[in-house]
Amino acid sequence: MNSDEILDKFIHHLIVIRSLSNNSVDAYARDIRDFLKKYHNPFVVNESDIRHYLEELRRNGLTPRSMARKLSSIRSLYSFMLDNSLSEKDPTEDIHVRIGQTALPRPISLAWVERLLSTPDVATPLGLRDRAILETMYATGMRVSEISALELFRLHPDKKFIQCSGKGNKERLIPLGQTALDWILTYLDTARKELTKGKKHCDNVFVNRHGSRLSRISIWRMIRKYALLAGAPKNIHPHVLRHSFATHLVANGADLRAVQEMLGHASISTTEIYTQVARERMKQIIQTHHPRP
């Protein structure tokens, strides 16, 4: 069996067995292809080869976090090979990459959220769609890929929640506030009908000017455009809205387990970082406003 055949089987495993998203599969495949360009025969790779490969990545300017991700992909490949009797050893077993302290998420203030959300021109179909997207992202903390993939049947306006299909096709229910719900319903009743009129049927909630599914990249560009129009003091991207959603909930006393469920985090430790963000924000407030900081 050659390296191309192993890669094909590994990708099939990621899609069928692990049920990973398309984006995750693409990332794994990209990492493994890069690795196999260096080492064409994965059967003879040893620990020294892996260390040499990582050192070469470091010299080429790759960050420790990116190196850790690539090592994780390679480790997954050899784990798959071991499980399927394609290899008798895992050369990554004793290799680790220190990535240092995890950088804290950088949310924006409620005032800037309000300013961003009010920037689209809701008198136009696309502006109304964009306002509905921004409201939904801040109200739910959904990932940009989840917003792009959101289908009409997953909206439950009568019960005020969204049925979200997240990473690994894991389902979760996210409560939807009245403000975001009102914008979604207004968009569906007016702008979406205009955008899809006479076009091929599309099940996605948010569509482009051609009546087709709105892509992740288009949503990224849309948010960046409104951030610039609003004069935002920092780079605002979709994940900033997700961070802001979680940080604002935790800062106002939301139960951490509930926030974990809404974000779709597999581990509570991932969600706990938002308590640290809230603490750092409180420190900043005291240092800025207390007469004796």
Strands 155-156 and 171-175: unpaired
pLDDT band with cut points at 50, 70 and 90 for residue 291: low
Q: Which of 49-63, 94-108, 169-183, 213-227 has the lowest mean pLDDT?
A: 94-108
Cα–Cα dist 162/67, whole Å? 36
Which residues are CB-neighbours of 27 under 8 A, at least 6 positions away? 69, 73
The burial class, CB within 10 Å (0-12 / 13-18 / 19+), for 293 is exposed
Cα–Cα–Cα angle for 211, 205, 249, rounded to 5 degrees: 140
Q: Of these residues, 154, 172, 213, 265, which one is catalytic? A: 265
Average pLDDT value over all residues in the chain: 88
Annotation says 239 is catalytic: yes
Reading the block at residue 34, the tokens are 């890069």
Instruction: Convert the pLDDT of each residue in 105-136 to its tens digit.
Output: 678 889 999 999 999 999 999 999 999 999 99
Asked if 201 is an active-site residue, the reply is no
Give dist(CA 116, CA 180) in Å, integer. Answer: 14
Of 93, 89, 84, nearest in space to 10 by CA: 84
SS3 content of the chain, % helix, strand, coil (to 5): 60, 5, 35
Quick check: is 159 catalytic? no
- Is residue 143 part of the annotated active site? The answer reads yes
Q: Among the options 143, 154, 243, 248, which is catalytic?
A: 143
Question: Which pLDDT value is given to residue 292?
Answer: 57
CA distance linking residue 31 with residue 142, whole number of Å: 26
pLDDT grade for 278, boundaries at 50, 70 and 90 = low
Helix axes 125-140, 178-189, angle to 10 degrees: 150
Identified catalytic residue from 9, 106, 239, 281: 239
- Which 3 state secondary structure label does DSSP give 6? helix
Instruction: Report helix angle 216-229 to 125-140, nearest 10.
Output: 100
Residue in 39, 53, 226, 274 annotated catalytic: 274
- Between vectors from CA 245 to CA 271 and to CA 98, what angle results, nearest 5°? 35
Does residue 281 have a pLDDT over 60? no
Q: Do 18 and 170 form a contact (C-beta atoms < 8 A)? A: no
- Taken in order of first residue, the domains within the chain and their CATH numbers are 3-83 (1.10.150.130), 110-289 (1.10.443.10)
More confident residue, 219 or 291: 219
Judge whether 167 counts as a catalytic residue.
yes
The alpha carbons of the chain give a radius of gyration, in whole angstroms, of 22
Q: Out of 51, 167, 224, 281, pick the active-site residue.
A: 167
192 carries an active-site annotation: no
pLDDT band at 100 (very low <50, low <70, confident <90, very high): low
Q: Where are the alpha helices (DSSP H) in 105-234?
A: 110-117, 125-140, 144-149, 178-189, 191-196, 216-229
- What whole-number percentage of the chain has pLDDT above 70? 91
Which of 70, 131, 242, 248 is the catalytic position?
Answer: 242
Q: What is the pLDDT of residue 181?
A: 97
